[in-house]
Amino acid sequence: GTPAGAWPPPPPPPAVPSYAQGAGAGSTWGASYAAQHPEGPKPAGRRGGLIAAVLVAALVAGGIGGGIGFWAAERNDDATDSTTVSASDTPADLKREPGSVAGIAHKALPSVVTIEAQGGNGEGGTGTGFVYDTQGHILTNNHVVASAADGGKLAATFSNGKKYDAEVVGRAEGYDVAVIKLKNRPADLKPLRLGNSDRVAVGDSTIAIGAPFGLSNTVTTGIVSAKDRPVTSSDGASSKSSYMSALQTDASINPGNSGGPLLDSRGAVIGINSAIKPAESGGGLGGSGQSGSIGLGFAIPVNQAKYVAEQLIKNGQAVYPVIGASVSLGEDTGGATISQEGASGSQAVTPNGPADKAGLKPGDVITTLDDTVIDSGPTLIGQIWTHKPGDKVKITFERDGKERTVDVVLGQRKGES
């Protein structure tokens, strides 16, 4: 599914420890992917059954249209002045160009799966994933499989209708990336080619494949409408948030698209579709509080997703780069302010950590990281997580009205704690 909710998210109280330090949560974007609950739709605010409502509405509308069309045709049976022109029959052997949307979709669809997650308590839903390697690993979002991570059930269905049981290999909540593995995998798996998200340009064509509202094998198109967009999201079921410096696209993305590939014009994966900005409150489909696409979708850059996936496959857990300081998670505060204290009264600046070694102190306001303007704590976290432990970054901050710049060598934190 695709997290959705208010934009920007309501800020938590100031001086909450940064999740980059393994402490607190960020802002929530509301309910996650659409799911049909076995006991019927749930109340708003929980994962609900939108699929049936949407399809029923579509069928009713289709019935009305069909009825009107039949009535009009019946009244014009004797008319002889038709101005319609029939096109010549499409050749049975018509071949689409390999670089066309149809050609790319035809090649990519067999490598995209619809994921069904079912938790032990009945929670669950539908999302998307794609074949990562020939060993049966599927790359997707953490929030797609989280409900089935502890004793639940996972299944992946290919475009040819074949369904396979799967198990979780590893999850990274902060990155919102997960890897699952097919049981009894087929021998003819074809991994999707991975592109280079660092070389993506605004205006590049995009193709998204997924299962919006459970409608598997859906293909939509658009462009990259922005890069390095700071996004904080949550599936509404966890106290922890995900932070990304996202690719923004206007390709239609809805609940159920999460975990699916965002492709470039060559058919290479440039991102994992993960979140949307929904319509304002009350604009959801079916009255359940889940909104549809308004042309603002966000994808995890594939370079970052690949780095995380390799860690999960190798070690079962992710490694996060950190600066060793807790920051306020308030939005649009003019910078990332280092908190006065950390989680549970701990020190906001870790003694002998990266920030401490660089001379940073509580109250300092970080305004840039390398060439990127930092306007809030979540933006800082998202930018730090585009790096790796051991990378050197240049941080500019303000203290007592004066601007200073220091080099910080990033430390690391393993796992989600």
Burial 5-43 (b: 16+ CB within 10 A, else e): beebbebbeebbbbbbbbbbbbbbbbbbbbbbeeeebbe
Q: Which amino acid is at 145?
A: V
Burial category of 402 from C-beta neighbours within 10 Å (exposed 0-12, middle 13-18, buried 19 and up) = exposed
Q: Catalytic residue at 176? A: yes
Query: What is the spatial distance between Cα 229 and Cα 367, in angstroms, rounded to a whole number?
Result: 16
Query: What is the spatial distance between Cα 201 and Cα 93, in angstroms, rounded to a whole number?
Result: 36
Query: 224 φ, ψ to 5°?
Result: -75, 115
Of 342, 55, 379, 82, which is closest to residue 212 (Cα–Cα)?
Answer: 55
The token duo for 399 is 């203290």
| CA distances for 264 relative to 165, 194, 201, 279, 293, angstroms | 30, 10, 10, 26, 20
Query: What is the spatial distance between Cα 186 and Cα 17, in angstroms, rounded to a whole number?
Result: 45
Q: Which amino acid is at 349?
A: V
Query: 51 φ, ψ to 5°?
Result: -60, -50
Catalytic annotation, pick one of 18, 137, 176, 364: 176
The token duo for 18 is 């940064």
Query: What is the spatial distance between Cα 99 and Cα 62, in angstroms, rounded to a whole number?
Result: 33
Catalytic annotation, pick one of 18, 32, 137, 143: 143
Q: Catalytic residue at 106? A: no
Query: What is the spatial distance between Cα 233 and Cα 184, in angstroms, rounded to a whole number?
Result: 34
Give the CA diameter of the chain: 90
Is the Cα dihedral 140, 142, 148, 149 positive or negative? positive
Q: Catalytic residue at 143? A: yes
- Residue 329 near residue 378 (C-beta atoms within 8 A): yes
Of 320, 412, 413, 408, which is closest to residue 364 (Cα–Cα)?
Answer: 408
Catalytic annotation, pick one of 147, 216, 241, 258: 258
The token duo for 141 is 């979002």
Burial category of 191 from C-beta neighbours within 10 Å (exposed 0-12, middle 13-18, buried 19 and up) = middle
Active site members: 143, 176, 258
